[in-house]
Structure 1
Amino acid sequence: MTDHDAEALLTPTEWVANQARLYERSGGTRGTTLHGAPCLLLDYRGRRSGTWRRTVLIYGRDGGDHLIVASNGGADRHPLWYVNLVAEPEVVLRVGTERFRARAETLPSAEKARVWPHLVGVFAPFATYQERTERDIPVVRLSRLPGTP
């Protein structure tokens, strides 16, 4: 697939790391939702270290693409995974039982506006998170790379 190590470093947030372990160890059959919303595993490369890291994120769909929200719970700074994606946009996803490479791209404002209602429908707290901050919360499109099963 790539030089990606299946044992990517897990997020330091304990409950997220536990969910990521369950998701991966079950082959994508357990740990796939959070508060009823679908989740994926995002493996991304650290922009300084080059180390593969893994986190769990709620996602929506837009056609064949997956959409993730860099909400950071409404904090005034971007989550570190997002900062790393901007620098290194090639990622590895596990969505359920499927694992594949994808490219991350931050949506422009008009595109975000189009998909935002869908994402709030998937996970209503996204709207509250946006209200908590003056930061425009990015939405990221994850598109499967050609030649990936």
Structure 2
Amino acid sequence: MTSDDPGRADVPSTAKVPPRWFIRTAWVVHRGLYRVTGGRFGLTRPRPGKYGMLSLHTVGRRSGRRRTAILAYYEDGPDLIVMAMNGWGEAEPAWWLNLQATPEAEVALPDGGRRMRAREALGVERERLWAGFRDYEGPKTDLDALAKLRSRPPAMIVLEPA
């Protein structure tokens, strides 16, 4: 990895993220609005300059219960691409740990649900997909600077149709 690569702890970052309590509250509110409105609010398709939002349903790796997370995504052919970051915190998100244990999942999209199988993109594919997320970042977002807040790059997850 060169010093220009995202996710390097030894490269200073000017990125700022909201406090953890704010991020967690936003997640809870988003999931709550999605649930209360019966899915009518909270999910969007990607469009130029703006990634989409999907609802990912996994099986808890310890509890065996259904778990739900709302994630940013974009489409790469028939695949859906998500980034395994936990509010740019150091820990891996629970949904990604759940998918590592049981890669089969369901996603809800504005136009319906799909059964998917998850895998991590590595090497050249990972770099291509990371660059793809840049097409959706807003004018005030710098994904590379945010990634430098972590000691390792966020995993790029490919959700393939099952």
Change (3 A) 1:62 1:36: closer
- AA of the residue aligned to 1:22: L
What whole-Å deviation, never above 9, does each CA across 1:90-118 have from its counterpart, x for those lacking one?
Answer: 10100113111100101112111111111
- Give the corresponding residue for 2:7: none
**2:72 matched to 1:58?**
yes
Query: CA–CA distance in 2 between the matches of 1:132 and 1:68?
Result: 18
Greater helix content:
1
Q: Cα RMSD between the aligned structures?
A: 2.1
Name the structure 1 match of 2:63. 49
Structure 2 gap segments, 5+ residues each: 1-23
The percent of aligned pairs where both chains have the same amino acid is: 28
- 1:41 and 1:54 in contact (8 A); partners too: yes
The residue aligned with 2:84 is 70
Whether the 8 Å contact between 1:27 and 1:97 is mirrored in structure 2 is: no
The whole-number CA distance in structure 1 between the counterparts of 2:43 and 2:73 is 11
| Structure 2 residue aligned with 1:137 | 154
The alpha-carbon distance between structure 1 residues 108 and 92, as it changes in their structure 2 partners (threshold 3 A), is same
TM-superposed deviation, 1:28: 4.4
CA-to-partner distance for each residue in 1:37-62, whole Å, 9 max, x for gaps?
Answer: 31000010111111110010000111
SS across alignment from 1:72: coil
Unmatched segments (≥5 aa) in structure 1: 1-12
- State the TM-score, normalized to the length of structure 2: 0.72
Whole-angstrom distance in 2 between the partners of 1:36 and 1:22: 20
Aligned to 1:22: 33
1:87 maps to which residue? 101
* Equivalent of residue 129 in structure 2, options 99, 105, 115: 115
CA contact (8 A) 1:20 1:55 kept: yes
Q: Which moved more, 1:61-70 or 1:125-134?
A: 125-134
More displaced stretch, 128-137 vs 83-92: 128-137
Aligned residue identity for 1:107: A
Distance 1:127 1:29 in 2: 33
Say whether residues 1:40 and 2:51 are aligned partners.
no
CA–CA distance in 2 between the matches of 1:75 and 1:18? Answer: 19
